[in-house]
Structure 1
Amino acid sequence: MGGLRKYLRATALLCALAAAPAARADSDLPDNPLHFFATCAGRLSALMEHQWLVDGPASEATKSRRAALLEVVEALTPPDAAPRVMAWRIEAKAAHATLLGQSRHGSPAAMARAARRAQALESACTAYLS
């Protein structure tokens, strides 16, 4: 039953992608949904770890959203693509962790830019979760 649930969740999210061209235009959504969701899972991993330090309760909500994305990633990943998908997740996590760090240290203008960018990337990722 778990496999069916993952398949249905992946199908629902892919339908949302197809039905939301306005959301796609404002995000960094690539042509490859697997890449998009894997990258989002990495970003939310970084956010969750950041929240452990600055906002513990928020990390629980992020953990749930991340779990949903990981189910979709798992359902979409062909067996031979698992290493590449993991690399996408790791790269996105590292980049987002850097961005979140910049949002807490530096000049006020740089911190504000980094915070806005991090929020925009996170919003693009969570826009497809319902």
Structure 2
Amino acid sequence: MTLTTAVLAGPARATEHQQLQTFAACAGRLSAVMEYQWMFDGVASERTKAQRATVLQLIEAVMPEDMGREVLHWRISAKLAQSALLTRATFNDDPADAAWATQTADRLTRDCTAFLLS
């Protein structure tokens, strides 16, 4: 491999890595939203379930075989963070903090569904 090839391959690999990390984080976030909806709004969870399934397909399409553990870590970390936001939004005595948590959780969810066609 020449230096030019190595330099060109580096950013492409980083971009693929970032894309995979984004998909994994979104799968985790949507898992948390889906579980939250099961508790409070069973109807909405079907749409989230379908969106999550699509993101999981994207992960499968781009994930190298040797990254399974790392992808799972990203998914779990994002799920826990999203779940914490949803809990903070729902069971909070401070209305301003609850509003911030709701807005943040909603924004992160929208960011994850914005790149889906349906």
TM-score, length-scaled by structure 1: 0.75
Structure index of larger Rg:
2
Which of 103, 107, 115 lines up with 1:116 in the alignment? 103
Corresponding position of 1:97: 83
Residues 54-107 of structure 1 show CA distances to partners (whole Å, capped at 9, x for unaligned) of: 110000000000000000011111000011001000000001000000010111
What's the RMSD between the two structures over aligned residues? 0.9
Amino acid in the other structure paired with 1:128: F
**How far is 1:50 from its partner?**
0.2
Q: Give unmatched runs, 5+ long, in structure 2.
A: 1-16
Superposition TM-score, scaled by structure 2 size: 0.83
* Structure 1 position 87 matched with structure 2 position 79: no
Q: Provide the rounded CA distance (Å) in 2 between the counterparts of 1:56 and 1:115.
A: 19
Q: How many residues align?
A: 100
1:42 corresponds in structure 2 to 28
Where in structure 1 do 4 or more consecutive aligned residues deviate above 6 Å?
A: none
Q: How much does 1:112 deviate?
A: 0.5
Identical amino acids, percent of aligned pairs = 47
- 5+ long unaligned stretches in structure 1: 1-30
Matches for 1:1-12 after TM superposition, within 5 Å: none
